[in-house]
Amino acid sequence: MVSEATNTRKKSVLWDWLTTVDHKKIAILYLIAGTLFFVKAGLMAVLFRIQLIAPEMEFISGQTFNELVTMHGTIMLFLAATPLIFAFANFAIPLQIGARDVAFPFVNALGFWLFLSGGILLSISWFFGGAPDAGWTSYVPLASREFGGLGIDFYVLGLQISGFGTLISGINFIVTIINMRAPGMTMMRLPLFCWTMLVTSMLIVFAFTPLAAGLALLMLDRIFDAQFFIPGEGGNVVLWQHIFWIFGHPEVYILVMPAFGIISEVVPAFSKKRLFGYTSMVFAVLIIGFLSFMVWLHHMFTVGVGPIANSVFAIATMTIAVPTGIKIFNWLFTMWGGKIKFTTAMHFGASFVPTFVLGGVTGVMLAMAPVDHLYHDTYFVVAHFHYIIVGGIVLGLLAGLFYWYPKMFGHKLNETLGIIFFWIFYIGFHLTFFVQHILGLIGMPRRVYTYLEGQGMDTMNFISSVGAFLMSVAIIILVINIIYSALKAERITEKDPWDARTLEWATSTPVAEYNFAQTPQVRSLDPVFYEKIHGNGEMKPAEPLDEIHMPNGSILPFIMGVGMFIAGFGFISFHMDLFISPYVIIAIGGITFFGAMAARSLQNDHGYHIDKETVESMEKELS
Amino acid sequence: MAENLDQPFKESAMNNEEKRKINREQRTQVIAFAFMIGITILAFLAVGAEGVPGTFTTPFILLLAFVQLLLQLYYFMHLKDKDHGWPNSFMISGLVLAAPMIVALIMLLGVVKY
């Protein structure tokens, strides 16, 4: 084994993180990048909430307002929520199914670097004549070359690149969950987070492809003067809306389903009961996944597609409430009669349920096509989807953060600060968005940068902005908590600090690079809890202790990300006055990207082995 | 041992059962291939021959294309074989999702309203 020598050499920290293919480290990379984008998009929201705090404010201009709103939505959905979900998925899935890593570690790293280069490409638009300003949906003709500025080129290319990353990560998760399960881990013993991530990954594969197609068409329109979406030349603007929402509606479920999964892990763990109705939960997830594709038209009721299409899609949309209701009741029944321990994670887990119901109820209201003509493009819609996205996805993600933090970093987050954070965030969230329902009902439109005095909107907008400030204060407390805990909190070495149920809690803390020294034998749903009751509390091994085969790290994913970034910038620069030709930039990016691909194909990298003695000594050290 | 590896083996490592399986597989591949060429010729004939109306040709070719697709996937890309349950279910769910979408798009954009 020649490559063994390379592994024992000490690597510098930066080089280690740039070249890592370890799913636990990639999870932390996703977590950091996602959090930075989350904070950035949150600050944008605060800026435009300041603009809306009083009538006829002149804090920012209308143009800046449009850019802020667009970037807030785009970043939150594509660059904050998605990577944060991938952070937890990357970390938890291999551990929960008893695997050593994901199926394709190299591709996993590539997914991260592509996401990051796409995200940075989108973000640098500020320095080149302004950010995208056509709304996060980027509807044409607003987004066409005629009306939309250079920013939309950044939107198109940035999302395409980070979309590639999302797609390959989705495929990776599917293969991992199907092929890498430990012995005895049948599909119906899969932890619910894995199930939701499997369905989410399927949605990613089936939904991000239409998005990629739509973005490609928009790119052809904008950069190469095609006419797919230009009505005057035979194109069709409504086609963009269809393609966008064929992707966009499943996207909502791509984001919220992992949150369902996290809640389904957190609630049983802190209620000391197994998840009520496991089988029905699985089937509910599958049905929601299927239905989410068949309802995209409810975003376009007011386009005027005719009463029959509207009715069909209205009914299909309302049908989603049924499996969602099953899930809600199962969570309630899991908590009912349980020995509930109100940790911070459980605070988020328990508050998720009523908040998500509120968002769901307004969702059914919006699904009624005739009334939707009144709600359309008002703050009611804004309130609805923020109840889903903040009250569902963000609460779920925060529950997951507090729940998995000890496993990821080897120490708990401070619980007192955590609960203070929870209450301020939760109150701030409701202050911000509850009044927006009423604002919408009395007629305040979305996406306007100011409003007139004396229309009954002043007080509620003020309350809403104050709520936004409260949420920012809460996030600051979270940051303080993270720093405080990193410095002060006691390191934990126990495997299972929460007395939890699933397989990730059977690994040592911190998790060794090979996860499990011996692949565990799974004997039940909630395997760790089963061994606590029926065994000696330790997972039984399914294989003898032997040397472990690991993949080598590689800098190539990073280089491929850089190549994509350069090539994407080259395509945008067709409509910029740069000192070099766009073709040169595209060529440099393309050569970097395909060169790295060729290097990967030609190099013979079989990974390395950790021998038996090292594994034994590492295990002794960790236990 | 290792220095003999570049020498051709004297006899196959497969047993008779495996050989029979491979032969059967080869036969189905050849038959499927011949059949596919056959329906391609049919398609050309349908377009080229005089007297076949266009209203017949279009659905006929689409039908042949569908058969062609199934043959390709199941016989040439081995979806019919054992342990292809997951790829199969993904292919089918992709079809189940995409078909109504395309139908809806055609109807909504083409017929009902622009």
Q: Would you say the C-alpha torsion A529, A531, A536, A541 has a positive or negative sign?
A: negative
Segment A168-193 shows an average pLDDT of: 94
A305/B94 CB distance under 8 A: no
A426 pLDDT more than 60: yes
For residue A351, what are the CA distances in angstroms to A80, A313, A342, A344? 21, 30, 11, 11
Q: What is the DSSP string of A532-570?
A: HHHSSSSPEESS----EEEPPP-SHHHHHHHHHHHHHHH
Confidence at A494, pLDDT banded by 50, 70, 90? confident
Q: How far is A322 from chain B (nearest CA, A)?
A: 20
Q: What's the pLDDT score for residue A427?
A: 96
Confidence at A342, pLDDT banded by 50, 70, 90? very high
Low-confidence winner among A196-205, A474-483, B53-62 (lowest mean pLDDT): B53-62
Q: How far is A31 from chain B (nearest CA, A)?
A: 30
Alpha-carbon gap, residue A243 to A214, rounded angstroms: 6
Domain extent, residue A55, equals 22-554+605-622
For residue A558, what are its two tokens? 């990073």
Domain assignment present for A375:
yes
A179 pLDDT more than 90: yes
A2 pLDDT more than 50: no
Domain assignment present for A153:
yes
Q: What's the pLDDT score for residue A509?
A: 85
Domain assignment present for A565:
no
Domain assignment present for A354:
yes
Low-confidence winner among A297-311, A501-515, A609-623, B38-52 (lowest mean pLDDT): A609-623
Q: What's the pLDDT score for residue A472?
A: 96
Segment A135-152 shows an average pLDDT of: 90
Q: What's the pLDDT score for residue A538?
A: 87
Q: What's the pLDDT score for residue B113?
A: 41
For residue A478, what are its two tokens? 């979270």
Domain assignment present for A559:
no
Confidence at A5, pLDDT banded by 50, 70, 90? very low
For residue B50, what are its two tokens? 């005089």
* pLDDT tens figures, A530-569: 999 998 888 899 999 989 999 999 999 999 999 999 999 9
Write the CATH number for A506.
1.20.210.10
ipTM for the predicted complex comes to 0.79
* pLDDT tens figures, A436-464: 999 999 999 999 999 999 898 999 999 99
Nearest to A43 by CA among A76, A87, A86: A76
Domain assignment present for A13:
no
Q: Which DSSP symbol is given to A148? A: S
Confidence at B50, pLDDT banded by 50, 70, 90? confident
A293/B101 CB distance under 8 A: yes
A490 pLDDT more than 90: no
Segment A422-433 shows an average pLDDT of: 96
Segment A88-97 shows an average pLDDT of: 95
Structure-token match 């993600």, residue found: A397
Confidence at A12, pLDDT banded by 50, 70, 90? confident
B114/A297 CB distance under 8 A: no
* Contacting residues of B for A308, CB less than 8 Å apart: 112
The verdict on A128 touching B (C-beta cutoff 8 Å) is no
Confidence at A42, pLDDT banded by 50, 70, 90? very high
Q: What is the pTM of this model?
A: 0.91
The verdict on B99 touching A (C-beta cutoff 8 Å) is no
Confidence at B110, pLDDT banded by 50, 70, 90? confident
Domain assignment present for A573:
no
The verdict on A297 touching B (C-beta cutoff 8 Å) is yes
Confidence at A478, pLDDT banded by 50, 70, 90? very high
Q: Give the list of residues 6+ apart from residue A326 with CB closer than 8 angstroms, or none.
A: A277, A280, A281, A284
Q: What's the pLDDT score for residue B112?
A: 44
Low-confidence winner among A272-281, A473-482, A599-608 (lowest mean pLDDT): A599-608
Domain assignment present for A591:
no
Alpha-carbon gap, residue A411 to A88, rounded angstroms: 17
Q: A23-51 and A105-123 are packed helices; what angle lies between their axes, rounded to 10 degrees?
A: 20
Confidence at A334, pLDDT banded by 50, 70, 90? very high
The verdict on B102 touching A (C-beta cutoff 8 Å) is no
A220 pLDDT more than 90: yes
Segment A68-72 shows an average pLDDT of: 95
B113/A305 CB distance under 8 A: yes
B94/A236 CB distance under 8 A: no
The verdict on A209 touching B (C-beta cutoff 8 Å) is no
Q: What's the pLDDT score for residue A4?
A: 44
Q: What's the pLDDT score for residue B4?
A: 66
Highest mean pLDDT among A415-429, B17-31, B85-99: A415-429
What mean pLDDT is reported for chain A? 92
The number of folded domains in chain A is: 1
Strand partners, A463: none
Q: What's the pLDDT score for residue B14?
A: 81
Percentage, residues of chain A above pLDDT 70: 98
Interface probe with B: pick from A199, A305, A313, most Cβ of B within 10 Å:
A305
**CB count in 10 Å sphere of residue A201:** 26
Q: What's the pLDDT score for residue B33?
A: 92
Phi, psi of A445 (to 5 degrees): -80, 155
B112/A294 CB distance under 8 A: no
